[in-house]
Structure 1
Amino acid sequence: MASDEETAYDLTATEPGPTSFHELASAAALTDDSVDEVAAAWTDDAPTVDRDVLEANLIRPLDPEEIWGAGVTYSISQEARQEDSSGGLAESYLNAYEGDRPEVYFKATPSRTVGPDEAVGIRGDSEWDVPEPELTMILYKGDIVGYTVGNDVCSRSIERENLLYLPQSKIYAKSCALGPCISTGDTIGDPHDVRMELTISRDGDTVFQESTSTSEMVRSVDELNEFFQRYNEVPELTALLTGTSIIPPDDVTLEDGDDVAIEIEGIGTLENPVELLDS
């Protein structure tokens, strides 16, 4: 699907149209055009789609071969982590915040990732679980070709217990969500100046809500992308989450049945229910 401010188009119904964002990005690379330019070339022959129907049937907009994350990229996230004094966490995060090298870590595979309106998971062996709203880069052959909304769900109590447990706190079933769509740089403008808001709802009531701006980032998207690719065999299509400055306090934890909404200016709102996972 492709859309402008007024109309949505089914590019997959054109001949020979792309069947996925991966194919769209590949066509753009082959013609040395932008993704927007290639999509626009197909819209003349593409049937339109009712936007209400489209929004009611959203699916994950891409299947990146790997999803990675970056951490301690906002000053406020570092301040929050200074409270994590156990296990040497505060010193480690401070070193990452002040150091030349950012924190970059493996996050998920497609099988561990959900799309809009699908349930994100929380572990049964964790006592403090939070969503982490993040502007997410979409990379094709290492180049930034778009952005989406990412939810880097984290078992903070496991992470806080010992820094070596970070992979278990980050990488598990349904620990990542992407969506609702992919916006290009032309659409969102400066990626370092977009508004982001997180809302956690429970039984129709808001239990947590906070907003921020990517202008609070202390790393650039280009810097994070460059470190991500250093000495790394990067798949053709990948996603890189850029970190968060919104971390709910200790007394707010996700529960089974909650709803999480992450809105990023110029992209849209990613909404997911929460599911307590079986072991």
Structure 2
Amino acid sequence: MWPPTSPLPVDAGAATLVGRVWRPGLGPSVVAVRDGSLVDVTSTFPTVRELTETENPAAELRKAEGEALGTLDDVLANTPPESRDPEHPRLLSPIDLHVVKAAGVTFAASMLERVIEERVRGDAGAAAQARADIHALIGTSTPQPGSPEAARLRAMLVGRGLWSQYLEVGLGPDAEIFTKAPVLATVGTAVDAGVRRDSTWNNPEPEVVLAVASTGRIVGATLGNDVNLRDIEGRSALLLPQAKDNNASAALGPFLRLVDGDFTLDDVRRAVVTLTVDGEDGYHLDGESSMTEISRDPAELAAQLFTGHSYPDGAVLYLGTMFAPTADRHTPGLGFTHETGDIVSVSSPKLGTLTNRIRPADECEPWTFGIADLMHTLRNRESS
């Protein structure tokens, strides 16, 4: 549905939700979601980063006072570019100064699809046979990464000349963690998400996204769409930055749900993420990912994020997806790929719904508001 509706989790009354809106004349503003309305708490927390770095973000947000901005429904309706009134608030991605990272091949199904992309060098027409060959050899499930069983499978594959860099991170002790987007470059719900115009084989990647404080503590979660260009990455893993980091290609939201008594890391571990794709041509696709099938625990992935680096402003981490659509959309044997105008919705009961419309990346709203701009708006806000 476009414009989207009902982005809140099913237990919204119990959820501690933080987000951001653009306020005309003021710029990005931090908001709390309360009883279906948005409250501007920027005077207490100038950035979401300031909130997530506190000892107890959920408790701090609940007691923060601020200015009521109106209903979420009204702000959501004003968010799509084509229906936007510049004199009223619109939703933004719920994060700001956090580094945007992503973990790859964390589900067996996704890992095997990456191996297939590599073997066919990004040629969608050759994927079906490669998929059958690999499934016949390995199956559709793999051992725990870093385990003795995984080591034995690795040795067997090496012996057959079938080793892959994707199997290395899918079976070995070290996870694949990469930078998905620059700081402040993520897009929120109810706006366009970008796919490079020259990509002919691509798909959505519905995921849970962790918010991690600079101490390594997991403080919240949201939903993400790690838009993936399969043909470009399939040509070479060294093209991962071009496949992953493009204008409007990192969708995230609708809100960040903070960890509290009603939402814990175990809720993330049990989460079921559903996906729908609806095309302007009447095409419809459903998918589902269960976090119970992830190969590495979310806490382990968050810990690996800090193995060789520190993040003084915290980070968000896309946890990976098991969903890689293989059913043909048009030509037999070519699988799924996006069409302009596709409406993609990523949902999970305790995190709500993230909805974006697919457009060529160069037609999406350009990323123009950077860190210096944020600092300027906050300084001006303090002095006014």
| TM-score bracket relative to the smaller structure | 0.7 to 0.9
User: Is 1:275 equivalent to 2:305 in the alignment?
Assistant: no
Is this contact kept in 2: 1:89–1:160, CA < 8 A? Answer: no
Which residue in 2 is equivalent to 1:8? 37
Counterpart position of 2:219: 145
Contact 2:58–2:259 (Cα < 8 Å) also in 1: no
Work out the CA distance in 2 between the residues paired with 1:90 and 1:60.
Answer: 39
Deviation, structure 1 residue 40: 1.6
Of 183, 200, 203, the residue aligned with 1:127 is 200
Q: Which runs of 5+ in 1 are unaligned?
A: none
Would the aligned equivalents of 1:154 and 1:169 in 2 still touch at CA under 8 Å? yes
Which of these residues, 339, 342, 345, is aligned with residue 258 of structure 1? 342
Quote the Cα distance in structure 2 between the aligned partners of 1:89 and 1:35: 47
**Contact 1:158-1:168 within 8 A present in 2 as well:** yes
Match of 2:244 among 157, 164, 170: 170
How far, CA to CA, are the matches of 1:89 and 1:278 in structure 2?
A: 38
2:74 matched residue in structure 1: 53
Find the counterpart in structure 1 of residue 180 from structure 2: 107
CA contact (8 A) 2:41 2:64 kept: no
Alpha-carbon distance change, 9 to 202 in structure 1, aligned in 2, over 3 angstroms? closer
For 2:91 and 2:102, the matched residues in 1 are separated by: 24
Match of 2:301 in 1: 224
- The answer on whether the counterparts of 1:81 and 1:89 sit within 8 Å (CA) in structure 2 is no
1:241 and 1:80 map into 2 onto residues whose CA distance is 18
Q: Please list every run of 5 or more consecutive structure 2 residues that lacks an aligned counterpart in the other structure.
A: 1-30, 78-89, 122-160, 327-333, 364-384
Higher strand proportion (structure 1 or 2): 1
Q: Alpha-carbon deviations, 1:163-220, whole Å to 9, x = none?
A: 2222211122221111100112334442110110111111173432111211111111
> Structure 2-normalised TM-score?
0.65
Amino acid of the residue matched to residue 33 of structure 2?
S
Q: How many corresponding residue pairs? A: 270
TM-score by length of 1: 0.87
Cα distance between partner residues in 2 of 1:64 and 1:177? 15
Amino acid at match of 1:96: V
For the 8 Å contact 2:38–2:72, the answer to whether it is kept is no
Aligned to 1:18: 45
Give CA-to-partner distance per residue, 1:225-257, whole Å, 9 cap, x none.
111111113241321111001112252111222
Q: CA RMSD in A?
A: 2.4
Q: Does 1:201 align with 2:285?
A: no
Q: Which amino acid counterpart does residue 225 of structure 1 have in structure 2? A: A
